[in-house]
Amino acid sequence: MESKHHLQPRQSANGRTPSTTSGKAITSLVLGLLSLFGACLTGIPGLIFGIVGLGEINRSRGRVSGRGVAVCGIVFSSLGIAWSAMLLLLLPALLLPAIQAARDEAREQLNQAIEESNSELINSDRGTEALSSARKKFPTQIVNIDYLPEPIEKPDNSKFELIHYKSGANSLAAYVTPSPQDGAKHPAIIWIPGGHHNSIEDVWTPRERSNDQTASAFRKAGIVMMFASTRGGNDNPGKREGFFGEVDDILAAAEHLANLPYVDPAQIYLGGHSTGGTLAMLVGESSDKFRAIFALGPVAYAHSYRGDFIYCDPRNTKEMELRSPIYWLSCVSSPMYVFEGEENGNWDELKKMSDVNLNPNIQFHKVRDHDHFSLISPLTEALAEQLKKGKIRIDDMTSVSLY
């Protein structure tokens, strides 16, 4: 049997039990030093090991040493955390010039490609080819499908009904004002709002007069309204094509609208704002089925959207030509009225088209004292009154300010 002195801790020559250095303190020191030299993720664990190790040393009553090591680990880890935080704050500022330079270079390359493409298109010879036949012969290639489905809202009132119309093999959603049940046939308009117009959303809630994308003046005047979603919009089948296949969808919507029993098929109008105005022009350049077309704030070239609302390759000259109203002005056979406010809008785009236009069916008008958005309400109010009378006199509306 072993004696008791064999079970006692080994003592040093001066009678004290020898201590061991805390492993946590050493780990803290190593991690803290690493955090100072760019290993930013080691600072926080280094701080934790240092605090835990220091507590372990304090509780050991001298059996565990390394207080100084733990303190150094805590200090170095804290400095490393502070250094990492400072780097995270400064990094965007340090990288911003490089990011901005890359963006500027990309923008410059895009602008150069746009100018070269426009130069090619302006100097190209299309002869007397119609836009409708040119589109039919051209198989567009869609390269951008970076968008998500948007569920269609159901109207919660009697102002609109949710219906579906056929465009080719696709069944597409639309809002249409219901029959007034008066036995009469009424004028009707398809209105295309601005922005991402493939989808439709709430058009029954009153909007600010400064930007009424719903063009509610037509509905309030008793004119039947239709808002047609197009391919790839909402939860519709198909892919968005950006001013290409959407032309066919709007034409199909017009066919559906003309067949409603309370609509006068001889008084179908088309209107739109911004991107909706651009699409309205392209539809009007592809068909003569509309009594008149009203395009507010469109652009001459699809390139002018700088890649937005376009799902084909913007570097493809033919793709962009077929999406740009300026090249097909000669195809317009129905009265087309193109408007823009004189302030902060696309008037430069309208002027480009006006300067080359030889078609008497198209008129371009600058509306005084209004901008790209504020002209919608007063202009649609004036148009609605004239559509009710079946006679359009545009000069009466643009020779004076609208309010």
Going 371 to 376 to 381 to 386, the CA torsion angle's sign is positive
The answer to whether 352 and 385 are in contact (CB under 8 A) is no
Q: So what's the pLDDT on residue 399?
A: 47
The answer to whether 195 and 161 are in contact (CB under 8 A) is no
Residue with token string 């009594």: 291
Residue 6 within any structural domain of the chain:
no
Boundary residue ending a domain (107, 123, 139): 123
Count structural domains, the chain: 2
Quick: pLDDT tens for 206-218. 999 999 999 999 9
Q: Is 336 helix (H, G, I), strand (E, B) or coil?
A: strand
Q: How many CB atoms are located within 10 Å of the residue 255 CB? A: 15
**pLDDT classification of 146: cutoffs 50, 70, 90:** confident
Residue 26 within any structural domain of the chain:
yes
- Domain match, 36 and 182 both: no
Q: At what angle do helices 67-122 and 23-36 cross, to 10 degrees?
A: 30
Quick: pLDDT tens for 362-385. 999 999 889 999 999 999 999 999
Here the tokens at position 277 are 């105005």
The answer to whether 195 and 372 are in contact (CB under 8 A) is no
The answer to whether 294 and 270 are in contact (CB under 8 A) is yes
- Cβ-based neighbours of 350, under 8 Å, separated by 6 or more: 298, 300, 338, 340, 364, 366
Boundary residue ending a domain (90, 123, 156): 123
Residue with token string 């022009």: 281
Residue 13 within any structural domain of the chain:
no
Among 246, 177, 259, smallest CA distance to 218 is for: 177
At residue 8, does pLDDT exceed 70?
no
Tell me how far apart the alpha carbons of residues 289 and 272 are, in angstroms, rounded to a whole number: 16
Residue 344 within any structural domain of the chain:
yes
What integer is the mean pLDDT of 46-74? Answer: 78
Residue 341 within any structural domain of the chain:
yes
- Domain match, 279 and 380 both: yes
Residue 261 within any structural domain of the chain:
yes
Quick: pLDDT tens for 284-312. 999 999 999 999 999 999 999 988 999 99
Return the DSSP state at 142: B
**pLDDT classification of 42: cutoffs 50, 70, 90:** confident
Quick: pLDDT tens for 85-141. 777 777 777 777 777 777 777 666 666 665 565 555 554 545 456 999 999 999 999
Boundary residue ending a domain (68, 95, 123): 123
Range of the domain at 53: 18-123
Residue with token string 């004002």: 177
The answer to whether 340 and 366 are in contact (CB under 8 A) is yes
Among 10, 58, 52, smallest CA distance to 31 is for: 52
**Ramachandran angles phi, psi of 258, nearest 5°:** -65, -25
- Domain match, 186 and 292 both: yes
**pLDDT classification of 194: cutoffs 50, 70, 90:** very high
- Average pLDDT of the chain? 85
Q: So what's the pLDDT on residue 70?
A: 74
- Domain match, 151 and 199 both: yes
- Domain match, 305 and 208 both: yes
Look up the CATH number of the domain holding residue 317: 3.40.50.1820
Q: Is 367 helix (H, G, I), strand (E, B) or coil?
A: strand
At residue 38, does pLDDT exceed 90?
no
Do the bridges between strand 161-167 and strand 170-176 make them parallel or antiparallel, or are there none, so unpaired? Answer: antiparallel
**Ramachandran angles phi, psi of 269, nearest 5°:** -110, 165
Question: What does R_g of the chain's alpha carbons equal in angstroms?
Answer: 35
Q: So what's the pLDDT on residue 123?
A: 45
The answer to whether 327 and 284 are in contact (CB under 8 A) is no
- Domain match, 179 and 290 both: yes
Q: So what's the pLDDT on residue 4?
A: 43
Residue 4 within any structural domain of the chain:
no
CA angle 332, 250, 364 (to 5 degrees): 35
- Domain match, 200 and 288 both: yes
The answer to whether 124 and 325 are in contact (CB under 8 A) is no
Q: So what's the pLDDT on residue 77?
A: 75
Which is more confident, 18 or 71? Answer: 71
- Share above pLDDT 70 across residues of the chain, in percent, rounded to a whole number: 85
Q: So what's the pLDDT on residue 402?
A: 47
- Domain match, 163 and 261 both: yes
- Domain match, 64 and 201 both: no
- Domain match, 363 and 329 both: yes
- Cβ-based neighbours of 191, under 8 Å, separated by 6 or more: 214, 215, 218, 225, 226, 227, 271, 272, 276
Residue 328 within any structural domain of the chain:
yes
- Domain match, 287 and 385 both: yes
Q: So what's the pLDDT on residue 33?
A: 79
331 Rama class: left (phi>0) / alpha (psi -120 to 50) / beta: alpha
Q: So what's the pLDDT on residue 110?
A: 63
**Alpha helix segments (H runs only) across 225-346:** 245-258, 275-284, 317-321
The answer to whether 244 and 223 are in contact (CB under 8 A) is no
Quick: pLDDT tens for 153-167. 999 888 999 999 999
- Cβ-based neighbours of 88, under 8 Å, separated by 6 or more: none
Q: So what's the pLDDT on residue 275?
A: 97
What integer is the mean pLDDT of 329-352? Answer: 94
- Domain match, 71 and 139 both: no
